[in-house]
Amino acid sequence: MPCGSPNDVLAALAEGPAVAVVVAAYGPSVLEGVELTRTLRVRYPTLPVLIYHDPRSTSPRHLLAFFQAGAAEVVQKGEDFRHAFAAILLAAGHRVNARRMLEKLDPMLPPQSKRLFEYLLEKGEEPLTIEQAAAAVGIARRTLEKRLSRLGYPAPETLIGWCRLLLAAHMLEEQGRTFDEVALELSFPSGMALRSMLKRYTGVSGREARAGEGPVALVLTHLTEQISTPQAKAELKLRHSSQQALETALMAD
């Protein structure tokens, strides 16, 4: 549905759900588009905002502002829009889901593990290697394994599996997908393989997960048990104490 102004977009969203919002990143209303993106991120955190830009007239500074405001992806003018939109919308949806799951985990993550979880969740649509995970946070594989061990966390390959399972649970529950549909979208071998992984990680079958508290709560409960270790809690306490000391010092000045 074409909209002529940010207010028109918000009014349309108030009347019914949308799959995504496409905002133009060029022209005289580009700054309004940035502000609209920021507003949508707050009001509709699961709604992907795609930026449609013209490389001849879009400022890189404006593109950066869109991403800082919460845009999910960019579509370049001149591309096969329908094909690009479908692929980008799929990726954008995964990123939005990843943000939501990260927000649920954030209070229990020490600073040194947040970047890793952010990457694992954002890339949860594909099976990652330990080397890829380590490179994403700028360290060697062995260093990653040591850091996770110091926090009392599971091995990297297990955390990769947990993050993929958490995204799968979100799609099963909040998007009403079947196991086969989720398996196809997240590159699992089959729906049966996804069910088997759920059973192996949580001890609960796919049918039982849907009938109980829900797949998301189920996976979050078990993952929380894995990462709420004494070592991680100590790191969080130390971080909190350091922040309080800094705030006290700033107030004293």
pTM passes above 0.85: no
CB 89 within 8 A of CB 59: no
CB contact at 8 A, 47 and 10: no
Q: Report pLDDT for 61.
A: 86
- The CA-atom distances, in angstroms, between 242 and each of 229, 246, 247, 249 are 20, 6, 9, 11
What pLDDT is attached to residue 148? 94
- Direct distance between the N- and C-terminal alpha carbons of the chain, in angstroms, rounded to an integer: 54
Q: Which CATH class is domain 6-94?
A: alpha beta
Distances in whole angstroms, Cα of residue 58 to Cα of each of 85, 151, 159, 243: 19, 44, 39, 40
- pLDDT recorded at residue 168: 92
Half-sphere exposure of 25 (CA within 13 A, CB side): 29
Closest CA to 161 of 122, 131, 136, 128: 128
State the pLDDT at residue 248: 64
Q: What is the pLDDT along the chain (253 residues), one digit of tens a residue?
A: 777 788 888 888 888 767 778 888 877 788 888 999 889 888 887 677 888 888 887 788 888 888 888 887 777 776 655 665 666 566 666 666 777 788 888 888 888 898 899 889 888 888 899 999 999 889 999 999 999 999 999 999 999 999 999 989 988 887 678 999 999 988 899 999 999 999 999 999 998 988 878 899 999 999 999 999 999 999 888 877 766 655 565 556 5
Q: Which CATH architecture has domain 110-232?
A: Orthogonal Bundle (1.10)
Q: How many CA atoms lie within 13 A of 135 on its CB side?
A: 5
User: Could you tell me whether strands 49-53 and 21-24 are parallel, antiparallel, or unpaired per DSSP bridges?
Assistant: parallel
- How would you class 170 by CB atoms within 10 Å of its CB: exposed for 0-12, middle for 13-18, buried for 19 or more? buried
Instruction: Give the domain ranges of the chain.
Output: 6-94, 110-232
